[in-house]
Structure 1
Amino acid sequence: MGTPYPTPIAPSQTRIGWIGIGVMGAAMASRLLSAGYSLTIYARTPSKSLSLQSQGALLASSPRDVAQYSDVVFTMLGHPQDVREIVLGSDGLLSGLNPNSVMIDTTSSHPALAREMLAAAREKACWAVDAPVSGGDVGARDGKLAIFAGGDGGVVNWLTPLFEVLGRATYMGEAGCGQSSKIANQIMVGANLLGLSEGLVFAERAGLDVKQFMEAVRGGAAGSMAMELFGERMIGRDFRPGGFAEYLVKDLGMGVDVVEEGEDERVVVLPGAALCKQLFSGMVANGDAKLGTQGIITVIERINGKS
């Protein structure tokens, strides 16, 4: 593989670019700034970047400019089409990348797009890593995200000091494997959130104190990270987003609808994920697309006649 890396990863040496400063992206970028790294950022709405600028981030006028001033560029966007535009568009990251630089896409996106991005990056003597994350807004703020990394193993290993600022990275395999891992993760998250919602709605309808009920079961087989992150929020009607409900619909769709191309076509039949997607789609249809995923409890409540 040679030596494809720009410089050792150290705060004083590595220039980082960041695109995507929503709830998750802003928290992750802030952690890198706090660790001493220099950041150049791009925001379609520049006013959203003021907090990061106050911490020392520099604002660029385009994704191309971010790439030109960076050794490593992170993206944390909403949908695969956003990633395609930001990375592969006419004024996108790829048009400005310096040789041996690295793109890291932390968006929950499509495995095929991750493979396409790596191929395009290699044509410019650069690298691309798909590294979607799990852990929500709390994990992003606390640097405790689970990071699923796909791409060249040597490049992923070289990026370890950066990933350690954000959480714990696991190398999952070749390009696209990080995204496939995130899709599988979201299938499990959706099922956990649905079970948690139905359990709490049932407990309330049965006349139980739902807080007491949750304390009683959280240490047993029903306990989960979903309960730790979202149980109290559900009970307290706190639906502020760590991740938008509409994004989980997107993620579940990539699992329910996926067809892997190879010598044989393998369609994965996922009845539980299909039901979860339908229920989260109902949440979006109710006008709650921008609520946190824990808002799925409102769908179960509506089905049971509680408005």
Structure 2
Amino acid sequence: MSTHYPTPVTPKQTRIGWIGIGVMGGAMASRLISAGYAVTIYARTPSKATPLLSQGAHLVSSPAELAALSDVLFTMVGHPSDVKHVVMDTFLPSVNPNTVIIDHTSSHPGLARHIYESALEKQCYSVDAPVSGGDIGARDGKLAIFAGGDKDVVEWLRPLFDVLGKVTYMGGSGKGQSCKIANQITVGANLVGLSEGLVFAEKAGLDQGKFIEAVRCGAAGSMVMELFGERMIKRDFRPGGFAQYMVKDLGLGVDVEEGDEDNATVLPGAGLSKQLFSGMVANGDDKLGTQGIITVIERINGKLDKH
């Protein structure tokens, strides 16, 4: 490690580049700025960068310029196709040797491995580090971060990860993404279960708030309930993560690619969760938060006043 990284990560000398300043990415970049890091950003819509610029971030006109000016590059974009375009087509042709690329996007493990190998050819490193914790976790620096890649590189990056949340090293490249898929399978099932519990409680004549209070300290309690229970009751569907991304994430677990049939895992619950979240998208609610899945359960039960 000392050969490639003689200088520890510090706010005074580590140059940060960031692409993807949506609900999650914007909050994460903001935390790094607040921690004293020099953060440079690229935004397709520059006006969306105004809050970060007011904190002291710098804005560049292209991803290539961003890559050339950064020691550590962060991406938090939407889909694997976006990751491939940003990293493979724009970052890697422009990076300096020993640059580290951190992809926080929920993406495909195979793509993460391809990026890792391509980065090594450029004498650079990549870490797949998807996160869980939603907008609140991003804002408060309490994200769960699942890291795949070289362990010593992840350790070198720890000062950055510690600003954002708690990092767990999962193994070689792609393992962070595999962990996030497993995470989403679990979260999706929890969201569906919580939605059904709330809908049943209401139809049974229970006060939904009292129901949550009664069960939250028992076996039914979960972080999903803590994050989203009150939001569901109050019809607060502002996104911490878009419903359309949950469909994408669950698809990474249940959709079998041609030629990979022997490695497929049978996941009936995840398949049902994907179908229900796809119902949200079909209803035009793709940009609502994942807690909006309760609207699908309500529709099935004849309640059409979803918002």
State the match for 1:289 in structure 2. 286
Partners of 2:72 and 2:7 lie apart in 1 by: 10
The residue identity in structure 2 corresponding to 1:270 is L
Partners of 2:183 and 2:258 lie apart in 1 by: 18
Q: Deviations over 1:246-265 (max 9, x none)?
A: 00000000000146989x93
State the match for 2:182 in structure 1. 184
Partners of 2:170 and 2:161 lie apart in 1 by: 14
Q: Percent identity?
A: 73
The residue identity in structure 1 corresponding to 2:83 is V
Q: Deviations over 1:86-105 (max 9, x none)?
A: 1112xx11111110010000
The farther-off stretch of 80-89 and 178-187 is 80-89
Q: CA RMSD in A?
A: 1.4
Partners of 2:169 and 2:75 lie apart in 1 by: 18
The residue identity in structure 2 corresponding to 1:299 is V
Matched, 1:241 2:248: no
State the match for 2:74 in structure 1. 74
The residue identity in structure 2 corresponding to 1:213 is F
Deviation at 1:62, TM superposition (A): 1.1
Matched, 1:126 2:161: no
- Aligned residues of 1:248 and 1:280 also touching (Cα < 8 A): yes
Q: CA 1:37–1:261 in structure 2 vs 1: closer, same or farther (change >3 Å)?
A: farther
Partners of 1:111 and 1:6 lie apart in 2 by: 30
The residue identity in structure 1 corresponding to 2:85 is E
The residue identity in structure 1 corresponding to 2:302 is G
Structure 1: gaps (5+ residues): none
- Give the length in aligned residue pairs: 304
Structure 2: gaps (5+ residues): none
For 1:265, what is the secondary structure of its paired residue? Answer: helix
Partners of 2:200 and 2:5 lie apart in 1 by: 54
Matched, 1:232 2:230: yes
State the match for 1:48 in structure 2. 48
The residue identity in structure 1 corresponding to 2:134 is G
- Aligned residues of 1:148 and 1:169 also touching (Cα < 8 A): yes
Partners of 1:273 and 1:140 lie apart in 2 by: 25
- Aligned residues of 1:260 and 1:266 also touching (Cα < 8 A): no
State the match for 1:161 in structure 2. 159
Q: TM-score scaled to structure 1, two decimals?
A: 0.97
Partners of 1:18 and 1:242 lie apart in 2 by: 19
For 1:77, what is the secondary structure of its paired residue? Answer: coil
Partners of 1:222 and 1:112 lie apart in 2 by: 35
Q: Deviations over 1:269-301 (max 9, x none)?
A: 000000000000000000000000000000000
Partners of 2:219 and 2:30 lie apart in 1 by: 36
